[in-house]
Amino acid sequence: MKRKLTVGNKVLFLLCAMYFITYIDRVNIATAAPFMQKDLNLSTTEMGIILSAFAYPYAFLQIFGGWIGDKVGPKKTLTIVGAVWSVTTALTGMVSGIFTAIIARIGLGLGEGAAFPTATKAMSQWLPKDKFGYAQGIVHSASRLGNAVAPPIIALLIVAFGWRESFFIMGVISVVWMFIWMWYFRDNPKNHPKMTAEELENLPPYVSKSEQSKIPIPWKALSRRILPVTFVDFCYGWTLWVYLTWLPSFLFTSYNLDIKNSALFSAGILLSGVIGDTLGGVISDKIYRKTGNLKLARRSMLIVGLTGSFIFLLPTLFVHNLTLIAVSMSLAFFFLELCNAVLWAIPMDIAPKHAGTASGMMNTGFGVAGMLSPVVFGFLIAVSGNWQVPFIMSIVLLGVGVLVTLTIDPSKQLTEPDLPIDKINPETKIGV
């Protein structure tokens, strides 16, 4: 008998589409860069400034964007930010110089900065607790797939229509997603016309926006619990940004590959992360269901992922063989991506009522890594004259990440501040 797709799974599919589209929207400029640089008469330095402009508002908006998602709700928040990133993506095709290009990229960072923390809030309301890791694995696999397929997709659009038109087309696709989300999603799963009583029974108690607004965010306690996760996310993000920004150049420079072959090798390596993202969440949830030990389920995957990436990056220091390096870097990226779903699931475990804010705090580590890693990596190459030195730094940070992971305990859910008994909602056990 064919299993019917639940409403929750359809919402998860919509979020997968969002992660896929947003990653193409944020990296499409890398493929269009040579054409933009030529048409707009930009120097390499100016193009670098444009490329990095996205990361700053994206990093600084994580916490505030997650807080907005908690207070306003995922439906309205993702609709608004979806409109922002759609418009700014399309406007990138209309830029006339460095100033307008920087403004467009800053706008894209502002639009996408709140997207993932708010999506995490939606997942915390629409999925059972024992599927948090699975859900995060699936959506982030979609983002990695978007990152891997962006170069050939954007290249085809540029060849067929032009670099400006490639941004217009992606802007239209983003707008279509925004309208579908606005039409289909409900903040309260109970209000969805297709929701069944059986599916609703397995979901966490719904916290309404009015109730959420009355829940004070325990900033000090939340920061204390999330800070180690933020640091591990920084260690993870440092190496991930190396893959996203320097991998083609590493293969091109160290192994004398042409642009086409370096892109193909890069895509093959990055695709291994799609598998790692999904498996990390699935395995972590499976451990939790079998043992009931959330600390074991989350910690073990982080330790395995960071350690595996540490081990398989070591050959970059000693081996100069394209095949071996491609295999070892693929395995390193696979293990690294085992961590991603778990890192996003932990804020949902620790603070489900503040999932947007908590995940925003966590992902600030990734955002800061995005600002520093590409610049420091390039600086170390320029100073040292070889690729081994910056890879050593990535390997060291992965080792430090393993040690910090031992301080994370997601099994202890953050408790809300004490409230008078007459201010407690008997259904949700929170203030009214």
Q: 179 and 327 share a domain?
A: no
Q: 159 and 244 share a domain?
A: no
Q: CA 392, 143, 331, 408 torsion: positive or negative?
A: positive
Name the phi and psi angles at 58, rounded to 5.
-60, -45
pLDDT band per the 50, 70, 90 thresholds, residue 46: confident
Residue 427 has pLDDT above 50, yes or no: no
Tell me the average pLDDT across 91-104.
93
Q: Whole-angstrom Cα distance, residue 263 to residue 250?
A: 11
pLDDT band per the 50, 70, 90 thresholds, residue 14: very high
327: which 2 tokens?
A: 């295999």
Q: 90 and 39 share a domain?
A: yes
Residues 6+ apart with CB under 8 A from 374: 52, 241, 242, 245, 246
Q: Evaluate whether residue 196 is within a structural domain.
A: no
Q: Whole-angstrom Cα distance, residue 117 to residue 61?
A: 10
Alpha helices in 185-258 (DSSP H): 197-201, 209-213, 219-255
* CATH for 246: 1.20.1250.20
Residue 429 has pLDDT above 50, yes or no: no
343: which 2 tokens?
A: 């890192």
Q: Whole-angstrom Cα distance, residue 47 to residue 105?
A: 12
Q: Which long-range contacts (CB under 8 A, 24 or more apart) does 297-301 make?
A: 297/133, 298/133, 298/342, 298/345, 298/346, 298/349, 298/408, 298/410, 299/405, 299/406, 299/408, 301/133, 301/338, 301/339, 301/342
Give how many domains the chain has, as a whole number.
Answer: 2
Q: 106 and 60 share a domain?
A: yes
Q: Evaluate whether residue 199 is within a structural domain.
A: no
Q: Evaluate whether residue 197 is within a structural domain.
A: no
C-alpha 160, offset from chain centre = 30
More confident: 33 or 145? 145
pTM for the full model? 0.77
Tell me the average pLDDT across 135-142.
87
CA angle 98, 59, 347 (to 5 degrees): 160
Q: 297 and 382 share a domain?
A: yes
Q: Evaluate whether residue 245 is within a structural domain.
A: yes
Q: Evaluate whether residue 39 is within a structural domain.
A: yes
Q: Evaluate whether residue 358 is within a structural domain.
A: yes
Supply the pLDDT for residue 27: 78
Supply the pLDDT for residue 432: 35
Helix 294-313 × helix 132-160 angle, to 10°? 40
Q: 137 and 171 share a domain?
A: yes
Supply the pLDDT for residue 348: 85
pLDDT band per the 50, 70, 90 thresholds, residue 3: low
Tell me the average pLDDT across 279-293.
91
Q: 242 and 299 share a domain?
A: yes
pLDDT band per the 50, 70, 90 thresholds, residue 210: low
Residue 147 has pLDDT above 60, yes or no: yes
Residue 424 has pLDDT above 60, yes or no: no
Alpha helices in 256-354 (DSSP H): 259-291, 294-313, 315-318, 322-350
Q: 216 and 179 share a domain?
A: no
- Mean pLDDT, all residues of the chain: 85
Q: Whole-angstrom Cα distance, residue 226 to residue 222?
A: 6
Supply the pLDDT for residue 208: 66
pLDDT band per the 50, 70, 90 thresholds, residue 288: very high
Q: Evaluate whether residue 200 is within a structural domain.
A: no
Q: Domain end: 187, 218, 240, which one?
A: 187
Q: Domain end: 122, 155, 187, which one?
A: 187
Q: Whole-angstrom Cα distance, residue 126 to residue 70?
A: 14
Tell me the average pLDDT across 62-90.
91
Supply the pLDDT for residue 212: 62
Residue 400 has pLDDT above 90, yes or no: yes
Q: Evaluate whether residue 270 is within a structural domain.
A: yes
Tell me the average pLDDT across 390-404.
93
Q: 93 and 222 share a domain?
A: no
Residues 6+ apart with CB under 8 A from 132: 123, 124, 281, 285, 345, 348, 349
Q: 168 and 243 share a domain?
A: no
Q: 90 and 179 share a domain?
A: yes
Residue 151 has pLDDT above 60, yes or no: yes
- Tell me how far CA of residue 206 lies from CA of 38, 128, 189, 212, in angstroms: 53, 12, 8, 10
Supply the pLDDT for residue 411: 85
Contact 364, 156 (CB under 8 A): no
pLDDT tens-digit map of 354-389: 888 898 899 899 888 888 877 787 778 778 878 788
Name the phi and psi angles at 414, rounded to 5.
-65, 130
Nearest to 78 by CA among 127, 111, 123, 126: 111
Q: Domain end: 129, 156, 187, which one?
A: 187
pLDDT tens-digit map of 301-352: 999 999 999 999 999 888 888 889 889 999 999 999 999 989 989 998 998 8
Supply the pLDDT for residue 420: 38
Q: 128 and 235 share a domain?
A: no
**Which secondary-structure segment (H or E) carries 195?**
none
Q: Residue 424's beta-bridge partner residues?
A: 431
Only one residue has tokens 């259904």, namely 427
What is the residue range of 383's domain?
210-432
Instruction: Specify the DSSP class assigned to residue 189.
Output: G
Tell me the average pLDDT across 139-149.
85
